[in-house]
Each structure stands twice: as structure tokens, then as C-alpha cells.
């Protein structure tokens, strides 16, 4: 079996070593060295260049190097019928929940306010509710969203979640559909976005959505940069509709040095680090699906092409 590896970070050596532990006979080719393209059975990719799929006539599997698959669907040359699998790795799930817990706690404990006050040398305590009095909403109840919501609930927060279709989480109210989204937004003082990026969710975080949150709410976006309408966020922060934003993902990455997000006192920027891919653990999931492909068994975490997640 021949695998094409393509990433925007220099991780090919680590992936080759880790995959060899599980599939010693796997031939891994690193982009742009294709060899004979007709021999390539599977591709493990992050942000593949447009037109790549046209060069791989016998491709049988596309695997994402991250939890999202929007970068794969961005290419209109994507061949119909070739299965796509997303990366589900317990290490990444735990990392994402750590990030969400950290940022919710920072917002809950007024850290952005105190950082600003420190710069101005202002000594002023602010009222501090208990976690049980703080309502947190989680957009997206997939693997990452379910885990994050459950761990926030363990910390004592009043957590609820939303998904397109009905899902049930023990001890956590769950909303779904358009009416359910309105209900979740009305109660969410801190809103966490962990949605997949699809045509239905692009630009979801906009002025209309912010207006349905309680005034002074805060948002955390660790889904995708294209979920957020950037100008609408800046306007909402400047008007007081929102009090703060934590952003880990952006339309352009790296975030350009001149971007206003860097300078805004109520925005915290992190460089897409909420849940980085970890080859030693992620290789287990990738190798499992490569074996399943070889043996003709059902693939795990297969993406619904019509839903794009």
C-alpha cells in the first residue's frame, strides 16, 4: 500500500516513524514526490493544493491530518465516491477540552478586564459569580464538543449545547435546529464554537447571532476562522454587545501583523494551538483505517459527503 503524505508543517519524519510501528510495509511518499501517481492508494493531507486529486487516478481513501475536513472539500476536483475520514484522536479531544476549560475560566474570572487594569495600574475588584451561576453554551456536539461540554459541567458551570440534529448528553441540556439555536443563544453568557465548517455554518458568528446573546456575553472560537464575520465582531466589542473574544482560528493563518485583532484590548489571540495533531497518538487512528481499507472493512469516522462532516 502506498500513502501520500502532505502537510503544511514539517512533520513527515515523525509520521513516517509512527506509522511504521503499526504498518511496517506501508510505503509513505511525501509531497511533492509522487513517484508513479497510479500506485497511490491513500492520501493523508492537510490543506492539499487545488487539482491534486486529478493526479491520483486510483485513490481509494482521503484522510485528514486534523479534526476538520473543510480543507479537503475546498477543492472542486474532489473525486466523487472516494471515502473521506476525519481524525479522531483522544489526545486531541483532551487537548481541546483543556483549551476550552482554560478560556472559559479566564472569561468567567474577568481576566481580560484585569489585564487591561494592570496596564493602567488600576486596582479595582469586580463582582465574581460562582461557576454554577455562569451559563455557558457550546455550539457543536460532535466528539470535541461533547467532551468539552461534559468537562465544563464537571467544573460546575451551567452548560448547554446545540447541534443541527438532536443529541443527548447526560446532565447537560441540549438544543437543536433553528429554534434550539435561539434558545441556546439567549442563555449563553459565554459561547464556545466547536462547529465543523460547512456552507451552513460559514459566517454564523455575525451581528445577528451576537444580538441574540445576553448583552456583554463573550465568545470563544476554536472551530474555524470562516465561522466568524470579523468586522461584526469588532463592532460588537466596540458597542458593548460583546465583552470579550478568544480566537484560536482565523480566515488567514498566520494572522497578518497589521490585523486589528492583535491590538484590540478585548480580544485574545492564540495561534491555532487549541488541539494540535500529535503523531504518536494520531497514527493509531490513521493506521487503523489504512488496515481497514486494505482488508475491505468499514472505515471509522467516515465523513458524510452531503453534510461535509
What pLDDT, in 10s, does the model give residues 120-169? Answer: 999 999 999 999 999 999 999 999 999 999 999 999 999 999 999 999 99
Q: Which of 29, 224, 227, 308 is catalytic?
A: 224
Task: Please give the model's pTM, rounded to 2 decimal places.
Answer: 0.96
What pLDDT, in 10s, does the model give residues 79-110? Answer: 999 999 999 999 999 999 999 999 999 999 99
Q: Is 227 marked active-site?
A: no
Model confidence at 272, in pLDDT bands (50, 70, 90)? very high
Collapse the DSSP code of 245 into the 3-class scheme (helix H, G, I; strand E, B; otherwise coil) and give the result: strand
Q: In order of start, what are the domains of the chain with their CATH numbers?
A: 2-89+277-295 (3.40.50.720), 90-269 (3.40.50.720)
What pLDDT, in 10s, does the model give residues 224-256? Answer: 999 999 999 999 999 999 999 999 999 999 999
Q: Who contacts 62 (Cβ-Cβ below 8 Å, separation ≥6)?
A: 42, 43, 45, 53, 72, 82, 83, 84, 85
CB-CB contact of 148 with 192 (8 Å): yes
Q: Which of 71, 264, 266, 272 is catalytic?
A: 272
Q: Is 186 marked active-site?
A: no
Q: Residue 44's beta-bridge partner residues?
A: 5, 63
d(CA 257, CA 283): 34
List the grid coordinates of 152: 465544563
Amino acid at each position: 500500500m502506498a500513502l501520500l503524505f502532505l502537510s503544511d508543517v514539517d512533520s513527515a519524519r515523525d509520521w513516517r516513524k509512527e506509522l511504521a510501528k503499526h504498518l511496517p510495509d506501508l510505503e509513505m511518499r511525501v509531497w511533492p514526490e509522487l513517484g508513479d501517481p497510479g500506485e497511490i492508494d491513500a492520501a493523508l493531507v492537510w490543506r492539499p493544493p487545488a487539482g491534486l486529486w486529478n493526479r491520483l487516478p486510483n485513490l481509494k481513501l482521503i484522510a485528514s491530518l486534523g479534526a476538520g475536513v473543510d480543507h479537503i472539500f475546498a477543492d472542486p476536483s474532489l473525486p466523487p465516491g472516494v471515502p473521506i475520514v476525519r481524525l479522531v484522536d483522544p489526545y486531541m479531544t483532551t487537548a481541546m477540552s483543556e483549551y476550552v476549560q482554560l478560556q472559559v475560566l479566564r472569561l468567567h474570572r474577568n481576566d481580560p478586564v484585569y489585564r487591561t487594569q494592570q496596564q493602567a495600574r488600576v486596582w479595582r475588584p469586580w463582582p465574581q459569580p460562582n461557576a454554577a451561576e455562569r451559563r455557558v453554551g457550546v455550539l457543536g456536539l460532535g466528539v470535541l464538543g461533547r467532551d468539552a461540554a461534559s468537562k465544563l459541567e464537571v467544573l460546575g458551570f451551567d452548560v448547554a449545547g446545540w447541534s443541527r440534529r438532536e443529541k443527548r448528553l447526560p446532565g447537560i441540556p441540549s438544543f437543536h435546529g433553528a429554534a434550539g439555536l435561539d434558545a441556546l443563544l439567549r442563555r449563553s453568557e459565554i459561547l464556545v464554537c466547536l462547529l465543523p465548517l460547512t456552507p451552513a455554518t460559514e459566517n454564523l458568528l455575525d451581528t445577528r447571532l451576537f444580538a441574540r446573546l445576553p448583552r456583554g456575553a463573550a465568545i470563544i472560537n476554536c472551530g474555524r476562522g470562516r465561522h466568524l464575520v470579523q468586522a461584526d465582531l469588532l463592532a460588537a466589542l466596540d458597542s458593548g454587545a460583546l465583552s470579550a473574544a478568544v480566537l484560536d482560528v482565523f480566515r488567514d493563518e498566520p494572522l497578518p501583523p497589521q490585523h486589528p485583532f492583535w491590538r484590540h484590548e478585548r480580544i485574545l489571540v492564540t495561534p491555532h494551538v487549541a488541539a494540535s495533531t500529535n503523531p504518536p497518538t494520531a497514527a493509531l487512528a490513521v493506521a487503523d483505517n489504512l488496515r481497514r481499507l486494505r482488508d475491505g472493512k468499514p472505515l471509522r469516522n467516515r465523513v458524510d459527503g452531503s453534510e461535509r462532516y
